[in-house]
Structure 1
Amino acid sequence: MADLTRTIQQKAEFHFDYMVQTRRYLHKNPEISFKEHDTTDYILHELKKLGIDTYRPLDTGCVGIIEGGKKSDRVIALRADIDALSMEEEGEAKAEFVSEREGAAHCCGHDAHTANLLGTAQILSEMQDEIEGKILLIFQPAEETLPGGGRLLTESGFLQEKGVQSIYGLHTNPDYAPGQIAVKSGPLMARPDEFEITIKGVGGHAATPHLTVDPIVLMGQVISQFQTIVSRSIDPTEPAVVTIGRVRGGTTYNVIPAKAEMIGTVRTFSEKNAYLVRDRMEQILKGITEPAGGGYEFAFNEGYPAVINDEELTQKLMSAARSVLGSDGVIELKKPIMAGEDFAFYQQEFPGAFFFLGSGSEEADSKWSWHHPRYNVDEKCMLTGSALMAGLVMGE
């Protein structure tokens, strides 16, 4: 096993420049969810150069399949997401490869995920004769946007048709350094639902509020009551979050508007708690607006399921990571985080394990949080990511 690990690490080092060049090309040419046409063409070109069979189950994104030289019914999938965010980026550390496409930026690390999996493809194609069974390399579109590319790919039946038995995925994380991963068995990332609310009132002059039903006042009461849902309706041993992300109402100083709007997110780890929060929100809306003579519209948009790591696969992942990184490189998390990931859809169908790939360093100015305009990765993280992904395939 030590010799195999050393061989994989040497191959990752050999292909590191390729991964860096690939990541920077993708970073300069980002495409938002469901628009990743050029990105898909680029990935297909790279896979075909390696002689890897390619498929396009969805309009964007693709899957490469490596047939191992050792006959087996084993089928393992490795996943990377390929889409960028709808935003502008900043940061001098990225000056030579900053986004050249207005309104799109890889400020969540998906460019590195894609380059990392292409680097893994390079390693595995050179070790194809030693691979047991079949390896699927999933380059998934639209992780950032509902309904999520992971859901659409799972619902397409393609992965089931190919006989996938287990799946692994990763996400760069600025809280950890290159050479580190962080993971835990069981709940890892939350279910991220979204809501949209319109409070309906009766508009009028600001000097005669008694002749109006002020939706701004009603909204203030609703917001305050929403913040009691988690503390008074959810079991205190179970994580949950209700956050108002935007409020909007009115146009000027002396007009009481006829309506006010807000949007936000709910984070939980179970369908039961998600629906409990939803129902309490509607009870609060009705209880505040109707007695005041107002009304409301309420939409609760169900997001991704929670990411729940399979215990057996997580143990295999940590074992492989310790072989590649040493025991100090594996951080076993004590608590989940409240961010969401559509990798969860794969885990509804197949045993899966998802982990965080350390990518933060002062040197690379890469300690900014996900979705910050200066988000960056220390590209040395791909040495870890590609070697570990390959090691999972070769050593499982």
Structure 2
Amino acid sequence: MNINTLKKRAQQYQEKMVEIRRHLHRHPELSYQEVETTKFIVEKLEERDIPVDRPLETGCVGILEGDQSSDQVIALRADIDALPITETGDHKREFLSENEGVAHCCGHDGHTANLLGAAHILSDADVRENIKGTVLLIFQPGEETLPGGGRLLCETGYLQEKGVDVIYGLHTNPNLSPGRIGLRKGPLMARPDEFEIEIIGQGGHAASPHEAIDPVVMAAQVVEQLQTIVSRSVNPTDHAVVTVGKIAGGSAYNIIPEKVELLGTVRTFSAETADLIKRRMESIVKGVTEAGGGDYTFAFNYGYPAVDNSDWATDIVIDTAGELLGAENVEQMEAPIMAGEDFAFYQQHFPGVFFFLGSGGEESGSVYPWHHPKYNIDEACFASGSALMASLVFQPLPSS
């Protein structure tokens, strides 16, 4: 299939993708509640004569059979859920969320519109006749919230039964301009684990601290000592982060509280490092509270695995994007980032590549990071994003 044909076809569908994206942006839904979003996606797929399966309660999988017989199965994935956030931003004023307290401030509306654009391209008769085997169009729920829609879908066995050979996914990135992508072989994104610590003391009057057991002082010591784990317990060549994101305790200026709560995240690239940090965390909490005469509870909640791109599949994306966008627009990243993504669950079962699609631009106000109330995407990214996803379908796999 001529890659320039796919590129031109993406440009033809640009306005359609913008229309779809803005509809989704106005009507965001939280993780595992994407009922209307799913109905909308199913309607768009069926309009293109693409049958749909529903392995999970929300989300769906479009099944596009190519005209050329083959056992090859290529999966393309987009996430569809939104965030519990109130958005702002003049650049989005024409299509701000109409669902109070919920908004697409992580680009999933764009991911969905982009994949529906790729579906339009691939279902055109003159394109479909060149497709070998099957293309699975995965519109996945619940990326933002544990246990992760990717995990739930994999646990159904649906994709395993379909015999997926490789899976591709993307995320919009405001640090790259439209027409550019970023990726790397091997680790790309960290595993995001979470922890909950409760420091238990004995309440009392602030003027009589000797008659109380102060959990605030113990909590302060815990926070400080947790920061020594990465610098003194983790191998310096490993990437790791320990962040306390919330401290809550107390009710008045003159009361020593009974308890203080600490919530936070741990970011690593291996289960072994995560386990090491977990052990060190509890050891620190135990030691501080015992020394202070208090007690504690500790919970460590394992999140998504690390996103780890397959070498040979990454080469396919690099080569395809180089031909489509120009090699100068393919940024091969030197280091991974510490954000997490449940695309990693697919990579536990199949070769796969996750990459960043340039969506940043001053004119569109796409200068804010993921999860910021003003997060937006430059919709010009669809021309390159949909064309690239469609182009990957035609690239030969090692087994072929």
The TM-score with structure 2 as length reference comes to: 0.98
Is the contact between residue 246 and residue 264 of structure 2 (CA under 8 Å) also seen in structure 1? yes
- Counterpart of 2:170 in structure 1 is 170
Distance 1:170 1:98 in 2: 23
Question: 2:30 aligns to what?
Answer: 32
Alignment of 1:185-204 (within 5 A): 185-204=185-204
State the shift of 1:328 in Å: 1.2
Which residue of structure 1 aligns with residue 82 of structure 2? Answer: 84
Secondary structure of the 2:394 match is helix
Verify: 1:99 aligned to 2:112, yes or no. no
1:207 partnered with 2:207 = yes
Q: Which residue of 2 aligns with 1:157?
A: 157
Moved over 3 A (4+): none
State the match for 1:60 in structure 2: 58
Separation in 2, partners of 1:42, 1:250: 47
Task: Report the counterpart of residue 336 of structure 2 in structure 1.
Answer: 336
Aligned residue number for residue 18 of structure 2: 20
Superposed CA deviations along residues 209-235 of structure 1, whole A, max 9, x for unmatched, are: 001110000000000000000000000
* Equivalent in the alignment of 2:252: 252
In structure 1, the residue matched to 2:382 is 382
- Taking the TM superposition and a 5 Å limit, the aligned residue runs for 1:198-277 are 198-277=198-277
Q: TM-score, normalised by structure 1?
A: 0.99
Match of 2:285 in 1: 285
**Cα offset, 1:298, TM superposition:** 0.6
Q: What are the residue-to-residue correspondences of 1:93-172 with 2, within 5 Å?
A: 93-126=91-124, 127-172=127-172
d(CA) in 2 for partners of 1:256, 1:94: 46
* 1:128 CA drift (Å): 1.1
Deviations 1:295-323 (A, max 9, x none): 00111000000000000000000000001
Letter in 1 for 2:134: K
Q: Could you tell me whether the CA contact under 8 Å between 2:181 and 2:329 is conserved in 1? A: yes
Cα root mean square deviation, aligned: 0.6
Give deviations 1:360-382, integer Å, cap 9, x for gaps.
00011001000000000000111
Letter in 1 for 2:121: I
Letter in 2 for 1:337: I
CA distance in 1, matches of 2:59, 2:245: 30
Could you say what secondary structure the match of 1:220 adopts? helix
What letter matches 2:180 in structure 1? Answer: Q
Query: What does the per-residue CA deviation read over 1:349-396, in whole Å, with 9 as the maximum and x for residues that have no partner?
Result: 000000000000001100100000000000011111100000100233
SS at match of 1:10: helix
Cα contact 2:316–2:395 (8 A) shared by 1? no
- Please give the secondary structure, in 1, of the residue aligned with 2:74: strand
Give, in whole Å, the separation in 2 of the partners of 1:259 and 1:72. 62
Select the residue among 8, 11, 28 that pairs with 1:10.
Answer: 8
Secondary structure of the residue aligned to 1:207 is: coil
| Partner deviation per Cα, 1:189-243 (whole Å, 9 max, x = no partner) | 0000000111000000001000111000000000000000000000001100000
Counterpart in the other structure of 2:43? 45
**Hey, what does 1:321 align to over in structure 2?**
321
Deviations 1:230-285 (A, max 9, x none): 00000001100000110001000100000000100000000000000000000000
Tell me the CA shift for residue 80 of structure 1.
0.1
| Pairwise CA distance, 1:291 | 2.2
Cα separation, 1, equivalents of 2:232 and 2:292: 24
How far off its partner does 1:103 sit? 1.1
Alignment partner of 2:196: what SS? strand
Aligned equivalents of 2:349, 2:51: Cα separation in 1? 24
C-alpha separation in 1, matches of 2:166 and 2:314: 11
Q: What is the identity, as a one-letter code, of the residue corresponding to 2:5? A: T
* One-letter amino acid matched to 1:205: H
Deviation sequence 1:51-107 (CA, Å, 0-9, x none): 101000000000001111111111000000000000100000000000000110000
- 2:309 — aligned with what? 309
Identity %: 59
Quote how far apart the aligned CAs of 1:292 are: 1.6
AA paired with 1:113?
A: H
In structure 1, stretches of 5+ residues that fail to align are none
Q: Secondary structure at the match of 1:26?
A: helix
Distance 2:16 2:328 in 1: 27
State the SS of the aligned residue for 2:291: coil
Once residues 90 and 284 of structure 1 are traced to their aligned partners in structure 2, the CA distance between those partners, rounded to angstroms, is 41
Instruction: Verify the 8 A CA contact 2:87 2:373 in the aligned structure 1.
Output: yes
Aligned length: 394
The amino acid that maps onto 2:78 is: A
Deviation at 1:187, TM superposition (A): 0.3
Helix, strand or coil at the partner of 1:12: helix
Q: Secondary structure at the match of 1:248?
A: strand
Deviation at 1:5, TM superposition (A): 1.1
- Give me the whole-angstrom Cα distance separating, in 2, the residues matched to 1:76 and 1:119: 17
For structure 2, which runs of at least 5 residues remain unmatched after alignment?
none
What is aligned with 1:353?
Answer: 353
Specify the SS of the correspondent of 2:93. helix
3-state DSSP of counterpart to 1:285: helix
